[in-house]
């Protein structure tokens, strides 16, 4: 298959590109480098520009026989989306609509969307399936929800078929270290652990009064390599997966809830260094968290997570010196 990956210079898109190539598929990257990195492109076919540039999409389709599109390009920082909701709705929703129009014009039949588990409503047992109620909190999560709503209407009118992959909490790095988390200060919990460890600072568990088994938030941490492999499985099973219904949603998580305190313990074990830990209140907008109990991705796509959060921690630590060498920080 030849796959166009929007946002293919970013953390997840670049890892998906590596997984596709490892599985024998060809990739073409479209990225505006707003947060993506040129160092992650290597010798891949690259189109630099905006997903809403229709002429550029026409050129890509004229120059390549594209079998499927993986749409990773988006702005993804939750607090930034609160400060600039219109910028987020414009980039993530408005430009996705324009992209879809360009893809329909060019006859694209398969569209795979990077959605997010942050659109689920809180659940008192912390578990969700694809059918659980949705209640996106932040403007960022709402952009993912809105695009899903739009995508539901597209197949009947256009013949394009759609898979929405709802990612849980991606962490870690391509085990071969070809690319990784490029942001210097991402805000997720593993990044905070890495920062505390590197700078000999205290790690703060934000929120210890949630009704979870140890009071800290619970997440479904998925190794980014497993997540990338899920895209390969989705592409390879696309036609069967959409045979009965041309719009399908899949939860992409491990099925294991891991608390923030448990992740900190795994981190200590892997790093071999004791960690200074303190407890603090939840940050604005924080939630207790959810994990998936769905087996739909396994049953339909033949995919399941194989790597643990401990392996993700190991690979994230291994990425730090490689990132310095590759990106200079
Ligand atoms: N990282 C997570 O925790 C997470 C969780 C759930 C879902 N997702 C989704 O996964 C996708 C990828 O996230 P990521 O973590 O790799 O983020 P990222 O910022 O590393 O990658 C996004 C990429 O999209 C590009 N981009 C953004 N707007 C563009 C535009 N208008 N035109 C062309 N390129 C554009 C950026 O330059 C970047 O390379 C996003 O859609 C995100 O919503 C991420």
Where does the pLDDT of residue 112 fall: very low under 50, low under 70, confident under 90, or very high at 90 and above? Answer: very high
What percent of the chain shows pLDDT beyond 90?
97
171: β partners: 223
Query: Best mutation site among 11, 28, 40, 291 for ligand 1, i.e. most ligand atoms within 8 A of its Cβ?
Result: 11
The best mutation among 5, 13, 30, 44 to test binding of ligand 1, ranked by most ligand atoms within 8 Å of the C-beta, falls on 13
Identify whether the C-beta of residue 5 lies closer than 8 Å to the C-beta of residue 15: no
Confidence of residue 1 (pLDDT cuts 50, 70, 90): very high
Q: Which single residue is written with the structure tokens 């026989």?
A: 65
Q: Which SS3 state, helix, strand or coil, does residue 97 take?
A: helix
> Tens of pLDDT along 134-150?
999 999 999 999 999 99
For residue 112, report the distance from its CA to the centre of ligand 1, in Å.
Answer: 14
Closest C-alpha to 66, from 111, 24, 16, 113: 111
Provide mean pLDDT across the span 233-261.
Answer: 98
Q: Is 142 in the pocket of ligand 1 (CB under 6 A)?
A: no
Report the half-sphere exposure of 206 (CA within 13 A, side-chain side).
Answer: 13
Give the chain's end-to-end CA distance (angstroms, integer): 35
Tell me 264's DSSP state. H
Atom of ligand 1 nearest to the CA of 170: 3
* Neighbour count for residue 104 (Cβ, 10 Å): 16
Backbone angles phi, psi at 263, to 5 degrees: -65, -40
Beta bridge partners of residue 116, listed in sequence order? 167
Q: What's residue 186's pLDDT?
A: 83
Q: How confident is the model at residue 38 (pLDDT cuts 50, 70, 90)?
A: very high
Would the pLDDT of 130 be above 80? yes
* Adjacent-strand bridge partners of 170: 222
Round to whole Å and give the CA distance between 295 and 273. 36
Rounded to whole angstroms, the Cα distance separating 285 from 320 reads: 29
Q: Give the pLDDT confidence score for residue 285 in this predicted structure.
A: 74
Digit-coded pLDDT (tens) for 215-242 = 999 999 999 999 999 999 999 999 999 9
* Average pLDDT of the residues in 110-118: 98
- DSSP, residue by residue, 252-287: ES-S--EEHHHHHHHHHHHH-S---EEEEPPPTT--
**Average pLDDT across the chain, whole number:** 97
pLDDT band at 184 (very low <50, low <70, confident <90, very high): confident
Whether the CB of 32 sits within 6 Å of ligand 1: yes
190: tokens are 């593993």
Check: CB of residue 230 under 8 Å from CB of residue 301. yes
73 ligand 1 Cβ < 6 A: yes
Helix, strand, coil percentages, rounded to 5, for the chain: 40, 20, 40
- Say if strands 247-252 and 161-167 run parallel, antiparallel, or are unpaired: parallel
In which band, very low, low, confident or very high, does the pLDDT at 287 lie, cut at 50, 70 and 90? confident
Enumerate domains of the chain plus CATH numbers.
2-170+221-253+292-306 (3.40.50.720)
pLDDT at 57: 98
Ligand 1 site, residue 69, Cβ cutoff 6 A: no
Tell me the catalytic residues.
Answer: 140
Does an H or E element contain 250, and which?
A: strand 247-252
């Amino acid at each position: 298959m030849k796959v166009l990956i929007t946002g293919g210079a970013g953390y997840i898109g670049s890892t998906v590109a590596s997984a596709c190539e490892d599985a024998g598929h060809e990739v073409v990257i479209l990225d505006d480098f707003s947060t993506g990195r040129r160092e992650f492109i290597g010798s891949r076919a690259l189109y630099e520009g905006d997903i809403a540039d229709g002429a550029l999409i026409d050129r890509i389709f004229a120059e390549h026989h594209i079998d499927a599109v993986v749409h990773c390009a988006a702005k993804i920082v939750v607090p930034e989306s609160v400060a600039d909701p219109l910028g987020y709705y414009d980039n993530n929703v408005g430009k996705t609509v324009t992209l879809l129009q360009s893809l329909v014009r060019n006859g694209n039949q398969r569209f795979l969307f990077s959605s997010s588990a942050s659109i689920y409503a809180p659940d008192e047992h912390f578990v969700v399936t694809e059918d659980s109620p949705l209640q996106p909190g932040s403007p960022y999560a709402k952009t993912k929800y809105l695009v899903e709503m739009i995508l539901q209407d597209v197949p009947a009118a256009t013949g394009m078929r759609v898979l929405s992959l709802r990612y849980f909490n991606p962490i870690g790095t391509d085990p071969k270290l070809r690319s990784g988390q490029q942001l210097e200060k991402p805000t997720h919990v593993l990044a905070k652990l890495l920062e505390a460890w590197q700078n000999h600072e205290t790690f703060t568990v934000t929120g210890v009064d949630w009704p979870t088994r140890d009071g800290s938030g619970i997440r479904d941490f998925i190794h980014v390599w497993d997540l990338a492999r899920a895209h390969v499985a989705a592409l390879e099973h696309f036609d069967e997966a959409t045979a009965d219904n041309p719009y399908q949603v899949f939860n992409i998580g491990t099925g294991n809830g891991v608390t923030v305190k448990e992740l900190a313990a795994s981190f200590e074990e892997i790093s071999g260094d004791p960690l200074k830990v303190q407890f603090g209140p939840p940050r604005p907008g924080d939630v207790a968290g959810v994990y998936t109990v769905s087996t739909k991705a396994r049953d339909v796509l033949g995919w399941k997570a194989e790597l643990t959060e401990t392996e993700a921690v190991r690979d994230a630590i291994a990425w730090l010196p490689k990132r310095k060498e590759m990106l200079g920080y």
